[in-house]
Copies of this chain bind each other. A is one copy, B any other.
């Protein structure tokens, strides 16, 4: 299997962390993709031009990160990050939506700088996205997702979100949310793949 991704990609990191946790990472061939390069084959593999994309040996393309992670689950004998049924499933998947949504709001702030000249940047838009993150971290800090039972893709998504805030915003979130700092440390203790996938660029 080929994983099209990039080192900084937070959704790529979620897939890599899940693959390592599930014991499947060695079966992945990581091929770096450049989302800004029109000639990268990525746009033929996913016309949205987004990463990550998983390419199976028969050529089938699977995206986005949520679908890839759930697919990987089916390859891992026994281990799973996706509870099969019941409240546990909807809580895990909703927590993933929250984590992914934090990343989406963070990416839009990054793109505001990367994709526009100075005079086209709009602080109200940046603030609108930042507020989504503030509200989400506040809610998570008030009731951190339990780490005493089985881990789910929800935990992984939240950890990736915090990791992305570390990477792109110098960990400024840490001062305001000590409960989440503790949470992330506890998560890291259970999932060493968090530390081994920290973007080094």
| Residues of A participating in the B interface, judged by any CB pair closer than 8 Å | 43, 46-50, 60-64, 66-67, 70-71, 74, 85, 87, 90-91, 93-94, 97-98, 101-102, 105, 111, 115-117, 119-122, 124-125, 128, 131-132, 135-136, 138-139
Contacts and interface: CB of A to CB of B under 8 A. Distances in A.
B47 A135 contact: yes
B60 A87 contact: yes
Contacts of A74: 85
Contacts of A60: 87, 90-91
Given A64-B101, A101-B64, A48 B132 contact: yes
Contact of A98 (B47, B119, B122, B138): B47
The count of identical subunits is 2
Contacts of A131: 49
A56 to B, nearest CB: 8
Given A47-B98, A48-B105, A105-B48, A115 B135 contact: no
Contacts of A128: 115
Nearest to A85: B74
A125 B138 CA distance: 31
A94 B67 contact: yes
B136 A47 contact: yes
25 contacts: A46-B98, A47-B98, A47-B135, A47-B139, A48-B101, A48-B102, A48-B135, A49-B131, A49-B135, A50-B101, A60-B87, A62-B90, A62-B93, A63-B94, A66-B66, A66-B93, A67-B90, A67-B93, A67-B97, A115-B122, A115-B124, A115-B125, A120-B120, A120-B121, A120-B122
